[in-house]
Amino acid sequence: MYDCKITVIKRTINEDIIRDYLKDEYQEEKACERFKDGQEFMVTKKNRYKPPEGFCEWAWGDIRHDLLTLVYGGTIPHMKDEHANIVGCTDWFRPVIFKIERVD
């Protein structure tokens, strides 16, 4: 088993989808406020099943299976670095893109 680092690569916003599909009272066109670009989180072998402190539970549910692949020694064949992966949360209004990398 390995430790992994999660890095927030980019917080995005889909303004057109927000305008077209969200009710007026939810049309706040701001990127996710739970994270900051460049923010890093460590996941150790010991705490591999729990989100790091301050990590969004919803995003954790979305990326956990990819994280566990790397924690348990799996590789991502299509990536330049097979010990890393690019993943995202499924808030398609304000998605956040993460890099997960195995720390050897």
Q: What is the reported pTM?
A: 0.92
Rounded CA-CA distance 28/78 in Å is 36
Domain ranges of the chain: 3-103
**Per-residue DSSP letters for 4-50?**
EEEEEEEE---HHHHHHHS-GGG------SS--TT-EEEE-STTTTS
Would you give per-residue pLDDT tens digits along the chain (104 residues)? 999 999 999 999 999 999 999 999 988 878 999 999 999 999 999 999 999 999 999 999 999 999 999 999 999 999 999 999 999 999 999 999 999 999 98
